[in-house]
Amino acid sequence: MERGNGVAVGVEAISKEFPGHVALKGVDLEIEARSFTTLLGPSGCGKTTLLRILAGFETATSGRVTFDGRDIARMPSWKRNIGFVFQNYALWPHMSIRDNIAYGLKLRKLGKEQIAERVTESLRMVGLDGRAEAFPGQLSGGQQQRVAIARALALRPNVLLLDEPLSNLDAKMRIGMRQELLRLQREVGITAVYVTHDQEEALEMSDQVAVMHDGRIDQVGSPQAIYETPETAFVASFIGHVTLLGGVSDGAGGFRSDLPIAGALPAFDGALPTGRAQLVLRPEDLDLVDDVEHAHLRGTLVRSSYHGRGYRSALRLADGTLCEVDHRRPVAAAPGEEAGIRVGAAALVPESDDYYREAAPEAESADDLVAAPAA
């Protein structure tokens, strides 16, 4: 197979409006040729819409999409030379595996022998040689997804677009397929754009992660950058489990927390905000200590549970915030007693109410309660 026919993809000021709903609000993104880029975000953030615009299934309301600098925003999907892998596989149930893969090749008027060759090659690549005569209904979910990938790759497309391709698989298969997908992408040298809501998947597979939120891209960067130096409260809270503490940042590494912190915090990385800011604390960067006097923060132990690799405990801080801490050693404190937290690493983001909430439905109902008397 030819190496590296992947193209660079450019997204410039893409907006997409649906009746009564704005899905994308001016999105910019640069995707390097032959890289693996993930669009990560909660459902409804616009990530799938952006992918479908790249595929040509949707037309952007405004903005440009380029492949190697060529504007293709008006080009229909059947001319774009893309491969698309769907969440539900979308194999044609009335065609055999061979016909599923050969369909696009026949449309390209390839010779019979060449088609047969490519079908065999693609099936070998995904480890399904010998299943060409089976029908989709006879294969397991994982096998069907492999066929879907083979179908997309057989055309040697310039871009491979994947819409949560692993989310219908069981947990174990999902983890195995991550590495396999990545191997295929590297082997073929194709540009891959991958949509997912699973941050673990995004961090493990990507060269570049774009965290999307409410129709915008909050932050683009390497997995390390996204995880270690989040730029917004949303990114910090969506990737992993965090505690956010409000305060004021001087923009030069100094941070005065609203809740008194004893002692100096470790130095921050990356661009620092000035003014109101939030300290991002991840459980694995914290440690629980019994020696309250030498701790950065103190709180009341709410619960503590053992997870095999260590413990996770939750503490109620003085301002009511619940802070989760991972630690290897058991603590002496019992629930209800005081314990200390040592901060090993932390990040700073500009203050925002716009963080990823787990309990949003409850928050809505609380709003309802507030609004009720007025109405």
Residues that bind another protein (CB under 8 A): 18, 20-21, 23, 42-44, 48-49, 55-59, 76-79, 81-84, 86-88, 90-94, 103-104, 107-108, 148, 151-152, 155, 161, 171, 197-200, 240-241, 284, 307, 309, 312, 326, 358, 360-361
CA-to-CA separations, 290 to 30, 230, 312, in angstroms, rounded? 48, 30, 15
CA-CA distance, 331 to 339, in Å (whole number)? 8
Residue placing its CB nearer to another protein in the complex, 20 or 69: 20
Residue placing its CB nearer to another protein in the complex, 211 or 277: 211
CB of 22 to another protein, least distance (A): 9
CB of 275 to another protein, least distance (A): 30
Whether 365 and 299 have beta carbons less than 8 Å apart is answered as: no
CB of 276 to another protein, least distance (A): 26
Residue placing its CB nearer to another protein in the complex, 18 or 262: 18
CB of 266 to another protein, least distance (A): 19
CB of 244 to another protein, least distance (A): 15
Cα angle for residues 326, 329, 333 (degrees, 5° grid): 85
Residue placing its CB nearer to another protein in the complex, 86 or 135: 86
If phi > 0 it is left, if psi is from -120 to 50 it is alpha, else beta; for residue 36 that is beta
Residue placing its CB nearer to another protein in the complex, 307 or 328: 307
Residue placing its CB nearer to another protein in the complex, 167 or 350: 167
> Residue 157, exposed/middle/buried by CB under 10 A (0-12, 13-18, 19+)?
buried
Running DSSP on this structure, what letter comes out for residue 8?
-
Of residues 125, 86, 127, 83, the one with CA closest to residue 105? 83
Euclidean distance between the first and the last CA atom of the chain, given in angstroms as a whole number? 66
User: By 3-state DSSP, what share of the chain in percent is helix, strand and coil, each rounded to 5?
Assistant: 30, 30, 40
Whether 213 and 238 have beta carbons less than 8 Å apart is answered as: yes
CB of 50 to another protein, least distance (A): 11
Give the DSSP letter string of 318-329: TTS-EEEEEESS
Residue placing its CB nearer to another protein in the complex, 26 or 44: 44
Backbone angles phi, psi at 242, to 5 degrees: -130, 160
Backbone angles phi, psi at 268, to 5 degrees: -90, 150
CB of 81 to another protein, least distance (A): 8
Residue placing its CB nearer to another protein in the complex, 76 or 260: 76
Q: Which helix (H) or strand (E) holds 101?
A: helix 97-107
CB of 155 to another protein, least distance (A): 6
Residue placing its CB nearer to another protein in the complex, 21 or 336: 21
Contacts 24+ apart (CB under 8 A), 128-133: 128/97, 131/97, 132/96, 132/97, 132/98, 132/101, 133/96, 133/97, 133/98
CB of 66 to another protein, least distance (A): 19
CA-to-CA separations, 211 to 8, 220, 352, in angstroms, rounded? 19, 6, 16
